[in-house]
Structure 1
Amino acid sequence: MKLRFSSNDMQELNFVREYAEGFGVDTSIGMKEIKSSFAYKGVESNSHRIYLPGVIVSMFEGIRSTGYEYGLESDFPYMQMHFEISTNGCEYFPKAGTEPETLIYTGQHALLFYPALKGQLKYLPMANAFSVEIELTIDFLRRIFNNDLGVLRTFGESIEKLQPSIMGNRSHPITPRMKEVIFEIRRCAYTGSLKKIFVEAKVIELLTLQIDQINTGLDNPVTSLKREDIDKLHEVRDRILQNLVTPYSIEQLSRMAGLNRTKLQEGFKEVFGTTVFAYITQARMEQAKDMIVDGKYASIAEVASRIGYKNPQHFTAAFKRTFGYLPKDLKM
């Protein structure tokens, strides 16, 4: 099983990655990890791969001062869960005009399948990029669904027929819970067999969240937004993330975006999968969690203040609603 990468711009991207049959792992615990990095022509990338039977989790972090692209060609059926956490996105264009393009931009995810890869993959420029790719075998999918891919609907039918497909026919917004699960994988402190069990469970949870969101969207279709409105909503989201301590009102955000209140609220939920204020709260809580775990701050009250809470009790209540436990529990 081979995946060939080819690039005219970056010699480092000319290589062949070999996969064990069924993504098998030749270690006693059935898991291995590989970390690597490279820097070339304005691109700095650090990767962390976790190999499990039937699953490969790849987390990429780095800087792309310029965009880059390369050719992909596989000799085996390729399935991937893809999450663009903080990037401008990536685009895959199959050479076969009959196959669907995969377009995944910042804050989006997709579940995709190709009987074989043969096309161009393009990464857009971005500082502080973070994306996650989880490769799955068909056998892994059959195992967790007990050989019944019916829950995947037409996507499952395409897999059985070895036909290219993107579940839901497009990319979808990453929800706060999806993002939290991804960060739980990245922060996992377990080792050995416990880490193997933990990571596999989180991959299955992520897949469940993807399938549920996509199926819900298929059952309750929404009106597509114009590209310019989506861009405005991304600008609002970026402004929120850059100024988490600022208590923006809906009116202020509406003026920033040049959208009326209703279009902002409904459009934001369509693009990002949650309400404006739920998104702000989740982002604040995730930042607070990282700050507490980091241990650089003297008290929970200081962390609360730094993410915009004047009242530590209000922060503690919001934190518990978000994660199900108290901030002080992270210090134990």
Structure 2
Amino acid sequence: MKVMIVDDEEMIRLGLEKIMSKLHPNLSVVGSYSNGAVAWDNFAKLYSDGLDLVVTDIKMPFMDGIKLIEKIREVASDVQIIVLSGFEEFEYARAALRFGVKDYLLKPVDKIQLQERLVEIESLRQKALANKPEESAAPIEDREHHAVEQVKHELEQSYDQPFELEKLAQSVGMNGSYLSRLFRIQTNMTMTDYVIQLRIEKAKELLIGNPALRNYEISQLVGYHDPVYFNKLFKKTVGVTPKDYREGKRGTPGS
């Protein structure tokens, strides 16, 4: 079982990791973070690696536990969540239940209660794996890889159109911010940079293969309606202006 722990107190995080590892020998803490914002920044990668459980505090700086849970539930319904809270936060913690939180535990954490929750979660995890048909048991990584490949294909078909993140995200059934992080993890570039790369490569093809086309026409054909901006972007990316590239000159990108 792969677990993420989120709490702004380091001693609590270390203590939980130690306790949970003893209670459940097959448990592995794959992420430990001091607030929801940092945890969310790392969630996409951990989720793609098969994250099973998030144990999170309620009150934390930058992003509290409720907001973190809300964001997780936008993209992942299969990750189990346990909320930690102080006695005075009891009613606040109950609000997390509407996001499908498995349970909440009062601090200091009772080891017996925690062990019961871990056993139950592991049982549910094993049951889900056993009930999943073999032909549809593609790992999360495969589904996410397919989503990124689909987005790349759609961008290749519509590189000359305005870039619409939410429309792309809907086409693969994901949240826009999650898809952006996932795309960057898998391609080492943002979707915006990927579109620019597509447009510039197409512009290079048109410059060489269509000598009758004027530079401003090529600019429009690849999605840039400001030829001055297109020229600057082309030179920054390729190293020479479109005119020089057409004439056979080559430069150094970024020069």
Q: Same fold (TM over 0.5)?
A: no
Higher strand share: 1
Q: Which has the higher helix share?
A: 2
- TM-score normalised to structure 2 length: 0.41
| Structure (1 or 2) with the larger CA radius of gyration | 2
TM-score (ref. length: structure 1) = 0.32
